[in-house]
Each structure stands twice: as structure tokens, then as C-alpha cells.
Structure 1
Amino acid sequence: MFKDIINNVTRFVVLTKDEKEEFTNLLEHRFIKAKTILLQKGEVCQFEGYVQKGCIRTYYIDEKGFEVTLYFAIEDWWVSDIASFHDQKPSRLYIEALEDSEIYLLTPQTKEILLKTIPKFEKVLRILVQRNLITLQDRLVNTISKPATERYLDFIKAYPSVPLRVPQYYIASYLGVSKEFVSTIRKRLSNK
């Protein structure tokens, strides 16, 4: 049952059998129906989640009322509002399951217990935060410096299965373009 999340974590540290058991005992296993909002703007994020199965989207609503997708979390990815979770302050984001999903959750309390009982998880969580920052930094630089077609190609590399799983307008909101533009790019690339 916990094989995938254990494999995810043990890429960074070696865990004993007892540590694996302690870790998995702290996880909350949850099934989430598609279209379920896991976090709304104004709520305090109470989870860091590992996606076992499904597709989850993190987004915000801009001043014009448009949804802007920040990222998708698919199998073997982690999802949270790090700022809200860490500082226990109201979120500016929404987190929504786009598909029926299965996730493992750590709460602020279980995360603290984990870090106290298995200190090597500090390294795991540090690496996960660093990877998240790298991803967001790359996304920011690409959004500013690359044309839309290149951004779409980068998106396909990062999320090869997502275009088959989510509506085109979510991809457009991630790229900062219209859904018609995404359709045009797809047609152009399929003709090559």
C-alpha cells in the first residue's frame, strides 16, 4: 500500500524497517472525488500531500476573475500551499482534484512528530522544497522569456500525461494563453 511513497522518500535517505513503519503510521490515506476542492482561498492549509493516484491542480484567481493554474500534481508528486502550511496563515490559493485521486497527507502536527522521531526527514523535506523552488523559478523565467510555443513544449516535457487528462483551458491557464492558442499549437505540432 505504501510502496510508492516509500520509494519517493528513499530516493533521498535510507530508512530502516521501523522508520518506514513509523512514517507510514503518521500518514492519513484519503480518497478524493474529482472536482473536490481541497483548499480554498482564505483557509489555512493543513496538509502536505503525496499523490498516489490522480491529478490535482493548484491555482489562484486573478484580479480580473480568471483562474491561473500554477501547477499540476500527478502521481509521485507532492501538493500543498507551502506558505500557508508552514506559517499557518490564510492561503491565497485553491487546490482542486481534477480526477478521482488517492493521496497520503501529513498535517502540521504529524509532520512535527515525523521530524522529531526520524530527524533524517529534515533532509527529505529540504530536498522537496528545493525542487519545488527550482520548478517555480524555471516556470517564472520561462513565462517571462520564452514564446508560447516553447512554453507549451516545456509543459509537455514536464507533464507528458496531463494533456490527455485535463481540459485544454487548464493548460491554457497554466501557460498564460487562450485555449484557442493551445489548440492552434497542438494542430501545428501534430502536422509536423
Structure 2
Amino acid sequence: MKQFIDYILQFGNLNQQQIDLISKKATVIEIKKDEYFSEAGKIAQQVGFVLDGIVRVCYYSNKGEEITKYFIDENNLVVDLESFDNQIASTAYVQAVVDTKILVFSKKDWTELFNIIVGWEAIVYKLVSHALRQKVERRSPLVTEDAKDRYLKFLEIYPNIVNRVPLSFVASYLGITQSSLSRIRKNI
């Protein structure tokens, strides 16, 4: 819980009573490797914060290919925000890449925090803005670069992930085949 409190305090101030309330609303879940935190076609019902492990956000193309959009590692929020906020079916899967511990808040508890804690909305807005900026910064350079440069950028962006996830997921994220990724890795 301390990890989450330290994280949110970067975006605003809370008193001890507010921190205690937040702590009471959260529970820790463990998701085994390959299990889903949320699934396409279902409405996201919880907000999570990765305490330990890695999840990936992925979807299936119209050709049935599995595409990894991005990874979320420790000390980051995990939620399909559009699905969660608007109560609509998600278009992506959020899957544990390794055994993962996530601090979660139900929709009901998250909403209660908005209604009870003065300033919570501003903190969450800053949190979400930070996460979206980070997501764009991580994806944007990958669009225009060649495969080798995309891989080098991946290593820079996700230094703690590359040795913890299957190469097939990295290749999918980079938009290349696994054999191309193997060649690039061999030549670096």
C-alpha cells in the first residue's frame, strides 16, 4: 500500500485520515502468468496499481493476430479507462505476463473516494494525465523508426521489462516478427 500512497502523493496532498480511507478501500490480488486482469468484450470493473509484476495490454487484429499495445510494470496504474469510466465493453485484454500483484479498487469504492475525499478528483486527473503522456511518449517514437531503432528505443523505455517478458510479446509490440527480433538482438 505504501507504494501506491507514495505514488499518488506525487500528484497532490492527502491527510492521514484520507490516506487511511484509501487504504481501507484497496485490496491486493494476485494474477498468475497468462491470466487476465480485464478482458475485451467485458466492462472494466476495477482500477489497479501494479505492485509487483508486469501486465500487457493487447488485442486481436481482424486477421486474428495478437498485437501487444504496451506493457505496464511496477508502480503504474492499470485500467481500461474508457471502459471503466463509461461502463462500455473493453476492446483490449489486460494480461499478466508474469505472476503479478495488483492493488485494486472496485468501481464502487473508487467512486466513493471521489465523493468523500476533497481534491481526489484533481489527483486522479493528474495521475491519468501522467499515464496518458507516458503512453504517448512510449509509442510515438516507435511509429517512424526502423526495426533496430524501435528495439533500441524499447530497451531505453522499458529497461526493466525486456528480460522478463517473452520475446514474442516484444516482437508484437515492435510490429516485427520474432525471427526479425532475434536477428536484431544478435547483431547488437
**Shorter-normalised TM range:** over 0.9
Matches within 5 A, 1:95-110: 95-110=94-109
Q: CA deviation at 1:139?
A: 4.3
5+ residue gaps, structure 1, are none
TM-score, with structure 2 as normaliser: 0.93
Is 1:56 the counterpart of 2:52? The answer is no
- The residue type paired with residue 141 of structure 1 is S
Matches within 5 A, 1:106-125: 106-125=105-124
Cα distance in 2 for partners of 1:136, 1:161 equals 16
Q: CA deviation at 1:50?
A: 0.0
SS of residue matched to 1:119: coil
**What percentage of residue pairs aligned between the two structures are identical?**
30
RMSD: 1.4
TM-score, with structure 1 as normaliser: 0.92
Question: 1:114-153 CA deviation, whole Å, 9 max, x = no partner?
Answer: 1111132222211222123223333443233222222212
- The residue type paired with residue 23 of structure 1 is I
- The residue type paired with residue 48 of structure 1 is V
SS of residue matched to 1:162: coil
Stretches of 4+ moved more than 6 A in 1? none
Cα distance in 2 for partners of 1:136, 1:29 equals 24
Question: 1:18-67 CA deviation, whole Å, 9 max, x = no partner?
Answer: 11101111112211211212222111011111000111111000011111
More divergent stretch after superposition (25-34 vs 164-173):
25-34
Q: Assess if the C-alpha contact under 8 Å between 2:11 and 2:127 holds in 1.
A: no
- The residue type paired with residue 165 of structure 1 is R
SS of residue matched to 2:12: coil
SS of residue matched to 1:65: coil
Partner of residue 36, structure 2: 37
